[in-house]
Amino acid sequence: MATEEREALDQRERLERSLVEWQEPAAAEASELLQELAGGALGSTQTLQLERLKAAVYRVRIGTAPGRTLVLKRHRPAVAQADRLVVERWLPALGLGECCPKLLAAVAERAGEWVWHVYEDVGDESLAVQRLPWRLAAAVDCIAELHTRAARHPLLPEVRWRARDHGVHFFVANLRDAIAALEALATPPRQVPREFSAARERLLRQLYELREDAPRRVRLMEDAGGRETLLHGDLWPKNVFVSTSARGSATRLIDWDHVGVGPFSYDLSTFLYQSSADERPRILERYGEAVARAGWRLPSNADLNLLCHTAESARYAHCILWAALALLSEGAEWGIAEIMDFECWFAALRPPLPE
């Protein structure tokens, strides 16, 4: 075996061992894909190093030159397909293909349970790190442009089918299913702390009250929620990047794993709830001005408060549901802690805007 081939094989084995140590599935497929990228599209064979950013997400450093990095991310097949469509079909159809990282390569596990994607790296300066006023303004403008361009677009039925529905169905279904799962936990499948039962009962009462109010909230979503549009679905500051170049500022949205269709308030509520109370009026004003250029008129603050509170409540119910199911089916200890935490968070949840 030639020296170069031996070095390439050694490197692939090192990458695979690293992924195995992090208990990642499809380590062999991922390491082979990275080796092909380093030796093919990226030029001559380069030394590759992995940096774990979080579970299932890694930064790949190529050689020793600064700035030569990629991002390796593991998906379930359905999410991988939706993310590919975001990059290659949905955003380009809106003229917004530059608003997300490029997908450079992909490989599936032989058993078909996982898919690895390789994306361009947009760096570390998300809004969670660099929350300057001009960055925040550019991010709000990008979100508004996404919502206004996608409203009533012919691709929305495809997005709903391939990805998620974040509208009325998301709210009603998660509320109903979370209640059913919590009711089933009246007899837990494993030993739980003494305070768990009381927390479960308080959380159920909160969900019952929300269910009683659901018809009013559904009517408001249908009457004041505006046109359905394409939603990022997870607009936390860590998923929003704003950079500068000679051409001006550029906003990139990453982690489109929750992409879907629904009212603009689903995305806007996440962005508002993840911003300080002092920032929220300025964000809303900037968003309102941006969507007004497309002929939109936002609902009153009172209606927006209820729309945003409903969206956040639906997300809470979704998380409660999966924690309860994990406890019911697997006896997962983390489900106990999450349910008790959500009881406190739900009780403290308030509308995001001053009336």
Per-residue pLDDT reduced to its tens digit, 111-166: 999 999 999 999 988 999 989 999 999 999 999 999 999 999 999 999 999 999 99
146 shares a domain with 281 = yes
Question: Does residue 46 form part of some domain?
Answer: yes
Within the chain, where are the H helices?
Answer: 3-21, 27-39, 77-85, 91-93, 133-150, 156-162, 168-184, 194-224, 264-273, 280-292, 301-330, 333-348
145 shares a domain with 189 = yes
Residue 244: per-residue pLDDT: 79
The Cα 25–Cα 175 span in angstroms is 33
* CA angle, 21 then 128 then 91, to 5°: 85
Write phi, then psi, for 349 (nearest 5 degrees). -70, 130
Residue 278: per-residue pLDDT: 95
294 shares a domain with 150 = yes
* Residue linked to tokens 């936990």: 185
User: How many Cβ atoms from other residues are within 10 Å of residue 31's Cβ?
Assistant: 26
* Full residue range of the structural domain in which residue 31 is found: 3-120
CA dist list (Å): 40 to 35, 76, 133, 323: 8, 26, 41, 44
- DSSP code, position 61: E
- Look at residues 62, 94, 120 and tell me which one is the last residue of a structural domain: 120
The Cα 100–Cα 146 span in angstroms is 12
Mapped onto helix, strand or coil, the DSSP state of residue 118 is: strand
Q: What sign for the dihedral angle of Cα 257, 262, 264, 269? A: negative
Question: Does residue 353 form part of some domain?
Answer: no
321 shares a domain with 219 = yes
Residue 41: per-residue pLDDT: 44
CATH code of residue 263: 3.90.1200.10
Residue 43: per-residue pLDDT: 44
319 shares a domain with 200 = yes
331 shares a domain with 199 = yes
**Contact (CB, 8 A) for 52 and 22:** yes
Question: Does residue 354 form part of some domain?
Answer: no
Write phi, then psi, for 294 (nearest 5 degrees). -100, 10
**Contact (CB, 8 A) for 164 and 266:** no
196 shares a domain with 322 = yes
Residue 282's Cβ-count burial label (10 Å; 0-12, 13-18, 19+) is middle
- Look at residues 120, 142, 157 and tell me which one is the last residue of a structural domain: 120
Structure tokens at 273: 């709830």
Residue 68: per-residue pLDDT: 85
Residue 8: per-residue pLDDT: 64
Residue 293: per-residue pLDDT: 96
Residue 197: per-residue pLDDT: 95
Question: Does residue 156 form part of some domain?
Answer: yes
pLDDT per 10-residue tile (average), the chain, 355 residues: 61 91 95 83 66 95 80 97 98 97 96 96 92 95 98 96 97 98 95 95 98 98 95 98 80 97 98 97 97 96 98 98 97 96 96 90
User: End-to-end distance of the chain based on CA atoms, in angstroms?
Assistant: 73
- Look at residues 120, 155, 186 and tell me which one is the last residue of a structural domain: 120
Find residue 251's DSSP bridge partners: 242
**Contact (CB, 8 A) for 219 and 225:** no
CATH code of residue 70: 3.30.200
